[in-house]
Structure 1
Amino acid sequence: MMAQSMLFLFFVLVKSCFGRIFTAPEQLTTTSYDFIVVGAGTAGCVIASRLSENPSATVLLIEAGVSDNGTDSAVLSTPFLAAQAVGTIFDWNYTTTSQVGLNGRTMPYPRGFVLGGSSSINSMVYARGPSEDWDRIATTSGDDGWSWNNLQQFIFKNERHAPAWNNRSNVGEYNPKVHGHGPLMTSLTANPSELDHRVINTTAELADEFPFNLDLNSGDGLGFGWLQSTIGDSARSSSATAYLHPALNSRSNLDLLLNTQVMNLISTGGAATTLNGVRASQSETAANFTFTAAKEVILSAGTIGTPQILMLSGVGPKEELEKFDITTLVDAPDVGRNMQDQPIFFLQWAANGDTLFSFLNDPDAINAALAQYEQNKTGLAASSIVFNTIGFLRLPDNSSLLENGDPSSGPHAAHYQISFIDTFNGNGNQVAPTDGNWISGSVVLISPTSRGSINLTSSSAFDHPLIDPSFFTTSFDIGTAIEAVKTLQTFLAASAFDGFIGSPVTNLTTDAQIEAYVRAAAVTIKHCVSTAKISKANETGGVVGPHLQVKGVDGVRVVDASIFPFTVGGFPQAEVYIVAERAASLIKETWSL
């Protein structure tokens, strides 16, 4: 009998050490917390994890989407299946407005609807961007704490390099000195391709034009190098796997509420501009629940969700709110404005050597690789294999496209990016060949000057907003894309590709042909930012101040990609992790945690 009692006590004590996971608001045993984090995405998981490190702080994390370890979750964790999460239950499945610069096309606009947010469904690229990006954020915000040098502690706290599953030597492919000791794992491919080696050989052949960069996470934002992916222990390393689940598995002061949409922020006492509460529900017709934060609400709903929730809370452009009879609490014209995104398109060439094309078009080979992965987490499915090399480039200093100013953050920051894909990667409805060997090149516009917006469609949080990235609506953007295509063609004409590169699928020889191709082919690379941008504390413009607190209200901080004042020169997930680490530190300092 005593043994049974001791066993029962053991299970009670173990359970009390774990965070609690709820799938409906009515299951929660309290409605009051020190901190409420809205959105369990890339930033939200970091914030919830770091704040709950102090056992005296109670934290509620609310996620509209689903768990990352439930039904069909292999599509999230298996590196080979990474791209297949788009368009599934793990995606918000947004759609853009008609894009004037893309021949009137609309397009899917993927964002993560799952624990980990877009870090759970993205292409797993980890690139922090050039140091000048961060120094420009410091200047824009008036806070030197955002400078590259001052962020090193948070960079090292976030990420660590991990070996590929086969422990392949990657000496000379990255710089271990610029990697840290954090929970997020990054790695290089386990299976370099012939294409990869030819790319690197070209950087030796044409070093002046296409220099090799040992580590694109070093703060040096230009050149060609090996791509680093958020993969460790043969699986995707996301904000959920690196930060949230370890916290839930070890702390009792963290509650997670899934499948629940935050409708708006409200005042639950005190001044009307003290937004210390959230209203949440599971559907348009379900009951509403109110939760109160004794200290802060941290809004981490992303570049689309954050401005939508702010506007539904009465914080936004007055004329926009009045359209839907929303009472204006703070007339904040920049909420939902200044949206920037990076378009991407692909070009293809026949290849005379081995590529992944035949493997990717052989169901038996794919099934065998997935079976091997399921058995022992090894093989082609356990690592990045499709694209492993990437380059960040600038326009020439004397380019006429720069006559009206340089939109990049500095002379060592890129205007565009090209990468190399070891198979046929089509655009939209482009029909892929059925045999042969093929490679593709992608072009990404890194520093666009086009500006879009997020606008409401109703006063309901359950209605998707209007998403208008406004792609290719300036001469700089289309001109830079044209120059990038020419650069890619020059790169592949290097002698390192002799005997390997065959004919292009589409022969583009004039500017007019390239422009027509780009407008017909480009889509989003899913790097939207700037809809709640940071600015100096004493400036009337912007949405958040230097410490990410929403201007004009008390009790609310924004921590996600919406705060960036411009597109980033790397890949946003890396930058968001860094922002979230510093933001967590700022919050702890504010409340002496």
Structure 2
Amino acid sequence: MSSLQNEKFITANSNLTQFEPSVHGFVGVNSVSLEGSPRRDIEDRLIQTTQEISEFPFNHDMNSGNHLGFGWVQATVGNGVRSSSATSYLGPEFINRSNLNVLVNTRATRLLRANQSLTFSEVELAQDGGSTFQTVMASKEIILSAGSIMSPHVLLHSGIGDSDELAAVGIDVVHHLPSVGKNLTEHPFLWDGYQINSNETFDEANRDLVLAAEQLNEWTLNKTGPLVDSPLVMMGWLRVNESAEIFDRFGDPAAGNSTAHFELFFINGFIGTVPPTGNFMAVGVATVSPVSHGAVTLNSSNPLDNPVIDFHLLQLELYRFIMREAIRSIKRLFSAPAWDRFIIASLTNATTDEELDQYISEKAAGLFHPAGSVVMSARGASWGVLDPDLKVKGVRGLWVVDSSILVSTLLK
């Protein structure tokens, strides 16, 4: 399914200066929209900055295929309501189909083979936290789509993975496939905070239960007000100086010179425990085009135990360099006249490489975009987990279709 078929862009609160219609779909299943409440002063100042400093260009539509610059956030929201798979692909139009059954409070734990062969035909399910188990049989084939963490977790507990690692936790090896769980990629991010001269942030609602209840009531009755929007107001995709010496040693991790090294995203409020007074803006900083690799592994043979997740986030000097440059770019952005008398104080005083590295080490985390742990490779390749048709190498009846197959660079 193409993105145009998937997307149902909602235009009620939009105009052509905020998105490019030719790159969007309008009759799909997932609702997508721009913000539904009035623009805030943060957005106006960001737009003004794109006119004042050439380092920060304006981007009409970051989903057009050219994502560099600052632009409007598009969210999977329709008519003030989140459009998730539960409300779209599993919504009223589809949930009663005769060939669809949805089990709740249920978790796939293992895939089982038929008669000790390498054909997988059954799925073991744990229900209600593992109080009961049952198996279901596939009439044709099994599609595993549990995500970049749980898809390798299920495969490993099914005996598909590195034979030595499986044996070490007491799992019988069914098929030696060492790449399962490897090549896990994620991009590090952190929050930078600023106290601002504004009364348009959501900080007051986080302190005032009466105001929060009023906003919830407005949304409940009319699907209007500040709760129709994500707190994310705008985003920017940027590159560091291409002549930086570090690229001579590590190469450029981006796909090309029109691809970002980092992103900035602006939140109209404080992230964390809100101080008793003041209004705040949080700025998220994330590297993109990840090049380091971690792994999903097991710590026991119990499929209900959590896996061991190592993103290997900050091991490469290149990541730390890009994060430092991204934080410094925020300081340059806020030096524009558009921000005069608006920024009251920065919550981060780090400036030197050493101070920034310490700050990054303390604050960085993953951005909830893991990928690559069930990586696809060429048919017949000695590494990888899936063939190009998404079938698991060396077995029959088993496909994997989720973000675990995606990766920007490979560690064979």
Q: How high is the TM-score relative to the length of structure 2?
A: 0.93
**Aligned-partner SS, 1:264:** strand
Deviations 1:96-135 (A, max 9, x none): xxxxxxxxxxxxxxxxxxxxxxxxxxxxxxxxxxxxxxxx
For residue 221 of structure 1, report the CA deviation from its aligned partner.
2.5
Pick the aligned partner of 2:58 from 212, 218, 235.
212
Classify the secondary structure of the residue corresponding to 1:276. Answer: strand
2:283 to 436, 441, 453: 441
The counterpart of 1:325, out of the listed 162, 167, 170, is: 170
Structure 1 runs of 4+ with >6 Å offset? none
1:437 positional shift: 2.3
Q: CA deviation at 1:401?
A: 2.5
Residue in 2 that maps onto 1:454: 296
Which of 160, 164, 167 aligns to 2:8? It is: 160
- Listed as ranges, the matches of 1:216-231 within 5 Å are 216-231=62-77
CA change 1:226–1:333 in 2 (3 A) is same
Check if 1:492 corresponds to 2:334. Answer: yes
Structure 1 residue 408 displacement after superposition: 2.1
Tell me if structure 1 keeps the 8 A contact 2:370–2:403.
Answer: yes
Change (3 A) 1:304 1:249: closer
| Gap change, CA 1:561 and 1:169, over 3 Å in 2 | closer
1:202 matched residue in structure 2: 49
Instruction: Report what 1:360 is aligned to.
Output: 206
Distance in 2, matches of 1:285 and 1:524, equals 29
Counterpart position of 2:241: 396
5+ residue gaps, structure 2, are none
Three-state SS of the structure 2 residue aligned to 1:278 is strand
Higher relative helix content: 1
Q: 1:369 — aligned with what?
A: 215
1:401 and 1:246 map into 2 onto residues whose CA distance is 53
Does 2:106 correspond to 1:272?
A: no
Tell me the residue number matched to 1:176: 21
TM-score (structure 1 length as normaliser): 0.66
Measure how far apart 1:451 and its partner are. Answer: 1.7
- For the 8 Å contact 1:194–1:354, the answer to whether it is kept is no
Moved more, 195-204 or 407-416: 407-416
Letter in 1 for 2:267: I
1:526 aligns with 2:365: no
| SS of 2:109 mapped into structure 1 | strand
Change (3 A) 1:235 1:318: same
The residue number in structure 1 matching 2:403 is 561
Describe the superposition over 1:393-439 as per-residue Cα deviations: whole angstroms up to 9, x where unpaired. 1222212222222222222221111111112224xxxx642212222
Is the contact between residue 170 and residue 188 of structure 1 (CA under 8 Å) also seen in structure 2?
Answer: no
Q: 1:241 to 1:440 in 2, by over 3 A?
A: same
Q: For residues 261 and 506 of structure 1, what CA distance do their matches in structure 2 show?
A: 42
The letter of the residue matching 1:518 is I
Paired residue secondary structure (1:304): helix
Deviation at 1:350, TM superposition (A): 2.1
Report the CA distance shift for 1:438/1:287 in structure 2 as closer, same or farther (over 3 A). closer
Matched, 1:345 2:157: no
* RMSD, aligned CA: 1.8
How far off its partner does 1:359 sit? 3.6
8 A contact 2:152–2:296 mirrored in 1: yes
Number of aligned residue pairs: give it.
Answer: 405
What is the CA distance between 1:349 and its match in structure 2? 1.7
| 1:232-265 superposed Cα distances (whole Å, 9 cap, x missing partner) | 0211000111101245444112112222222211
Distance 2:155 2:265 in 1: 37
Moved more, 322-331 or 352-361: 352-361
Does structure 2 retain, via aligned residues, the 8 Å contact 1:448–1:476?
no
Cα distance change of structure 1 residues 520 and 482 upon mapping to structure 2, 3 Å threshold:
same
CA deviation string 1:448-476 (max 9, x = no partner): 33321111111121111111112211101
DSSP-derived class of the 1:333 partner:
coil
Letter of the 1:204 counterpart: Q
Give the unaligned 5+ runs of structure 1: 1-152, 568-593
Q: 1:185 and 1:437 mapped to 2: Cα distance?
A: 31
- After superposing the two structures, state which structure 1 stretch, 466-475 or 320-329, moved more: 320-329
Q: Are 1:514 and 2:356 matched, yes or no? A: yes
Comparing both structures, which one devotes a greater share of its residues to strand?
A: 2
Per the alignment, residue 106 of structure 2 pairs with 260
Shift of 1:366: 1.0
Query: Does the Cα contact within 8 Å between 1:454 and 1:468 map onto a contact in 2?
Result: yes
